[in-house]
Amino acid sequence: SGFWHQFAMTAHSPIGKNPEEFGVTPIRKEINFAHNDIDFTDETGIAHYKFSFGLKKSLLNYMHGINFDLPLKDWFDFKIPKTTIDPNYIHDCLLQEENFEFKGNSKLIFLAKNPQVEYYTKSKKGKFFEFSQLTFHLKTNILKIEVEKEKADWLSKILLENPVENSKKITGQQLKNEYEEKFEDFELFWFSKPIQQLKENGIILSL
């Protein structure tokens, strides 16, 4: 869809729903098919026309089933950044059998508390973000995970308040409720890579 519409805005995309967050202003007209071709003005200063020929070229190739192995840099007539995604990423994801079903009635056991915490700041596009590295010293290995600072502080508090010695275990739903008092999208957090690592290493058990 992104290649087909190029730089037209679609109504149900994140940008279409919240254009002000992305520095664009939609120019709305009478609704046509699916409202998928909304013109807009852009305050970001991005020269969209630079990408036009490359997108048309890639779309033409796709529709004719050719040049799927053509390097991305050959689509455009200007230098583009190197990809940061492994070429086998989608293939490897399809081979993984992850169970992302959240069970609110499951009882949770936390087998570690008081991880070592290091705070640091990351910058991206001129913005600064606070992160924490939590280090868990286990019997067989040392596990380090990286989490946004506020969520790391919340997680450390949960580990401290729910030691394994507690006879009454917190449930998945109770944990979700506590999380959503401060943050959004619990499932995204619960099934994120850092939390999955805690589960895989036996720090978080679900019964």
pLDDT at 32: 56
Same-domain pairing of 120 and 175: yes
Same-domain pairing of 90 and 116: no
Q: Which of 74, 95, 116 is the last residue of a domain?
A: 95
Same-domain pairing of 82 and 112: no
Same-domain pairing of 131 and 194: yes
Q: Which of 95, 119, 136 is the last residue of a domain?
A: 95
Same-domain pairing of 91 and 156: no
Q: Is the confidence at residue 3, as pLDDT, over 60?
A: no
Is residue 101 included in any domain, yes or no? no
Is residue 114 included in any domain, yes or no? yes
Q: How many domains does the chain have?
A: 2
Give me the long-range contacts of 2-9 (CB less than 8 A, separation at least 24).
Answer: 3/55, 3/58, 3/59, 3/62, 4/59, 5/36, 5/37, 6/51, 6/52, 6/55, 6/56, 7/48, 7/51, 7/52, 8/36, 8/37, 8/38, 8/39, 9/37, 9/38, 9/39, 9/40
Is residue 102 included in any domain, yes or no? no
Please write the tens of the pLDDT for every residue from 28-87: 776 555 666 677 778 877 777 787 788 888 888 888 888 888 887 888 888 888 888 888
Is residue 34 included in any domain, yes or no? yes
Same-domain pairing of 199 and 112: yes
Please write the tens of the pLDDT for every residue from 144-200: 999 999 999 999 999 999 998 888 999 999 999 999 999 999 999 999 999 999 998
Pure H helices in 117-171: 149-161
Same-domain pairing of 117 and 199: yes
Is residue 82 included in any domain, yes or no? yes
Q: Which domain holds residue 90?
A: 2-95
pLDDT at 83: 82
Same-domain pairing of 124 and 182: yes
Same-domain pairing of 85 and 115: no
Please write the tens of the pLDDT for every residue from 70-125: 887 888 888 888 888 888 888 777 776 566 778 888 999 998 888 999 999 988 88
Same-domain pairing of 112 and 89: no
Is residue 126 included in any domain, yes or no? yes
Q: Which of 48, 74, 95 is the last residue of a domain?
A: 95
pLDDT at 22: 83
Is residue 196 included in any domain, yes or no? yes
